[in-house]
Amino acid sequence: MVCSMFDRLFDGVKQVLSHLDDLVTEIPRVKSHMAGILGYLVSSGTLSLADVAEPLEGGQHFPLFLLTLQTLHKLQGKSTLTQTLNESKVNLLNLLPESDRTKEKLADLLEDRELSFLFPLLRIQSDLWRGLLADPTPHAFYKYIKDTLDPEHHTAPGFINALMTVLVKYIVEETTLVSDVDPTSVPEKLATEREQELLAKFKPVFQAFLHDHLPLQVTAIYALQVFTYTNNFPKGMLLRWFANLYDLEIIEEDAFLTWKEDLSQDYPGKGKALFQVNQWLTWLQETEEDEEEEEEA
């Protein structure tokens, strides 16, 4: 009975939403009114944020979801709304119009609506990039992080993702992925050697935040995967980086093997990435097993 009532309510909400764009001309503030209703239904536990987000995927009726979050901010306060959103697993980027679907644009929208507290690390990648370019030395970059970022964020997956992305981007754009290089061809040996040297140079920065943190190392691997995916998997890059990160003891073998077995669908390109490094991962696993057998003998 309860389920049936919920289904009827949810169907009713979706039906109203289907006519929302037509109503805008007659009732200019109809989205604000609807956001008030949806916010109340979520706050009372009648609907979940995920329920509200479902018919708004792909930027439908934008900015209704953000207006709903603003209503919930008034009703619930910062901490409760943050918890509600985190538990919903809603991906806010998927609720933006396609042309606005970037972290930078989302950060601007949240700031305009006084909702930046929901994602304190959203701007961190662009901030880190600016800090690194201002003085691209490991010591200066590390100092920039320590001076500008709250220590409580140092072990946040969002920070590690941004840190890895920024450092990978900087290193390859200085070496193997410069603007005039064909990413579908194998880089010259001199470029790959320089890439390894630059990675080794930044090793203390990586280790400062990744050492002895296996889950964060897995997050770093995913960031590398997504970077190669968004750059159309430059020839040999992922395999090179896996080997170099392992040889330099920046990322441990357990992190690579955990990444291999992880079934997360949150990061694009996993299938192709696995295909490129599967032989190396097999070697790594066999090496680890051999070492364990030697220790037991």
Max Cα-Cα span within the chain: 81
What total of structural domains would you count in the chain?
Answer: 2
* Contact present, 121 and 153 (Cβ < 8 Å): yes
Dump pLDDT digits (tens) for 113-165: 999 889 887 888 889 999 999 999 999 999 999 999 989 889 999 999 999 99
Domain assignment present for 118: no
Do 80 and 195 belong together in one domain? no
Do 172 and 221 belong together in one domain? yes
Do 26 and 78 belong together in one domain? yes
The alpha helices in the chain, defined as continuous H runs, are 2-18, 20-23, 30-43, 49-53, 64-76, 78-88, 103-112, 124-134, 138-148, 157-174, 189-201, 203-210, 214-230, 237-247, 253-261, 270-296
CATH number at residue 74: 1.25.40.180
Structure tokens at 26: 């007659």
Containing structural domain, residue 160: 124-296
Do 73 and 131 belong together in one domain? no
Dump pLDDT digits (tens) for 218-256: 999 999 999 999 899 999 999 999 999 999 999 999 999
Mean pLDDT of the chain: 89
Q: Compute, in degrees rounded to 10, the torsion defined by CA atoms 102, 105, 107, 110.
A: -120
Do 180 and 267 belong together in one domain? yes
Domain assignment present for 205: yes
Q: Global pTM?
A: 0.72
Do 81 and 165 belong together in one domain? no
Instruction: Give the number of residues written for the chain.
Output: 297
Domain assignment present for 73: yes
Residue of 244, 251, 242, 241 lying closest to 177 (CA atoms): 241
Dump pLDDT digits (tens) for 32-61: 888 899 999 999 888 899 989 988 898 888
Q: Which amino acid is at 108?
A: D
Structure tokens at 230: 């968004």
